[in-house]
Amino acid sequence: MNSQKKIYKVFHIFVSVVLTVTLIISTVLLPPEFAGASTYKKSDSSRVTLLLGGDLMCQYKQQSAAYTGKTYSFHYAFDYVREIISSADFAIANLETNISSSSPLSCEQKEKYGKPYLNAPASYLSALKSAGFDVLVAANNHNADTGVKGLKETVSSIDKQGFKRTGIYKNKNEKRFLILNKNGIKIGIASYATYFNKSIRDFSKANRLAYLNSYSETKVQKDIRNMKKQGAEYIIIYFHSGNEYTNVPGSKQMRIAREIADSGADYILCSHSHTVQPYDIITAKSGKKVPVAYGLGNFISHMATKRSTTYGMMISLTLVKTNGKVRLKEEGYYPLRLLPYNQETGSKYQLLPATDKTIKSIENKTVINKLKVARKEISEIVGNDIEQY
Q: Read off the pLDDT of residues 350-369 as tens digits, 9 standing for 90 and up.
A: 999 999 999 999 999 999 99
Q: Read off the pLDDT of residues 316-351 as tens digits, 9 standing for 90 and up.
A: 999 999 999 999 999 999 999 999 999 999 999 999
Mean pLDDT score across all residues of the chain: 91
Q: Read off the pLDDT of residues 186-215 as tens digits, 9 standing for 90 and up.
A: 999 999 999 999 999 999 999 999 999 999
* Complete DSSP assignment for 2-13: HHHHHHHHHHHH
pLDDT at position 35 over 50: no
Q: What is the pLDDT of residue 16?
A: 47
Q: Read off the pLDDT of residues 46-98 as tens digits, 9 standing for 90 and up.
A: 999 999 999 999 999 999 999 999 999 999 999 999 999 999 999 999 999 99
Non-local CB neighbours of 314 within 8 Å, separated by 6+ positions:
51, 52, 53, 54, 81, 84, 85, 296, 299, 333, 334, 336, 353
pLDDT at position 161 over 90: yes
Rounded to whole angstroms, the Cα distance separating 308 from 360 reads 23
Q: What is the pLDDT of residue 45?
A: 64
Q: Specify which of 3-7, 35-39, 40-44 reaches the highest per-range mean pLDDT.
A: 3-7
User: What whole-number percentage of the chain has pLDDT above 70?
Assistant: 88
User: What whole-number percentage of the chain has pLDDT above 90?
Assistant: 88
